[in-house]
Chain A
Amino acid sequence: DAGITQSPRHKVTETGTPVTLRCHQTENHRYMYWYRQDPGHGLRLIHYSYGVKDTDKGEVSDGYSVSRSKTEDFLLTLESATSSQTSVYFCAISEGTGGADEAFFGQGTRLTVV
């Protein structure tokens, strides 16, 4: 199994509080991604990174920010959580250009905003 770990695995937070999710990889892959998964939707890309300090927005980036200060860590921050951000969040990594190379996924983080 690819070495990719998400933390925390579960979190309940209150509306308006900041939340940071962490994705850690031991594969030294260049590309890292954050997705959210909601009922009735396929996985949707929030942000991705193509190198240290290199990030870009995905389809549903509003309300989220990311940082990548080291190859192995990709952080997703909700500056002020809202109930619409209740979701399951997945981190993924790939060695080559996203989508053109095999992707490896973390176990997911279930976030509930109350």
Chain B
Amino acid sequence: KNEVEQSPQNLTAQEGEFITINCSYSVGISALHWLQQHPGGGIVSLFMLSSGKKKHGRLIATINIQEKHSSLHITASHPRDSAVYICAVLDYGGSQGNLIFGKGTKLSVKP
């Protein structure tokens, strides 16, 4: 059973396009994280949110708790945005520290 589902699995875009990556989850959560993993392997935290919307530069993350859905948007995409984007949630009933991770969305932005 996949408690965190991301779509699409793979995404190719042209530079400048508006990009949306989706995350749906089946458990009650207290927090949702968006992470970025570059080809070199390092993982960086982009956002942590429990309601509403957050914006950082060209990145916007939204969450709808009632619908159990979150989206990550990238405006004016650039080749340097090419990475794997990972959604992770903290389950209400989960043990302390046990984030549940999606399998990631691989984004490739072509110049």
Chain A proximity of B35: nearest CB distance (Å) = 8
Size range of the chain A interface in the assembly:
20 to 34
**Interface 0/1 of A46-62, CB less than 8 Å to B:** 00101000001011000
Interface size on B, residues (CB 8 A): 27
A105 and B103 contacting across the interface, CB-CB below 8 Å: no
Q: Which of B30, B97, B98, B103 contacts A42 (CB 8 A)?
A: B103
Chain A proximity of B52: nearest CB distance (Å) = 16
Q: Which of A43, A97, A107 contacts B96 (CB 8 A)?
A: A97
Q: What's the Cα separation between A44 and B89 when bound, in Å?
A: 12
User: Chain A residues in contact with chain B, CB under 8 A?
Assistant: 31, 33, 40-45, 48, 50, 56, 58-59, 88, 90, 92, 97-108, 110
Starting from the known contacts A43-B99, A56-B97, A101-B48, 19 additional A-B residue pairs (CB-CB under 8 Å) come to: A33-B97, A42-B4, A42-B86, A42-B101, A44-B101, A50-B97, A58-B97, A99-B33, A99-B88, A99-B89, A99-B90, A99-B99, A100-B31, A102-B33, A103-B33, A103-B45, A103-B99, A107-B42, A108-B41
User: Chain B residues in contact with chain A, CB under 8 A?
Assistant: 4, 30-31, 33, 35, 40-45, 48, 86, 88-90, 94-104
Can you give 17 contacting A-B residue pairs, CB < 8 Å? A31-B97, A40-B103, A42-B4, A42-B100, A42-B101, A43-B86, A48-B96, A58-B98, A97-B97, A98-B98, A99-B90, A100-B31, A102-B33, A102-B45, A104-B45, A105-B43, A106-B42
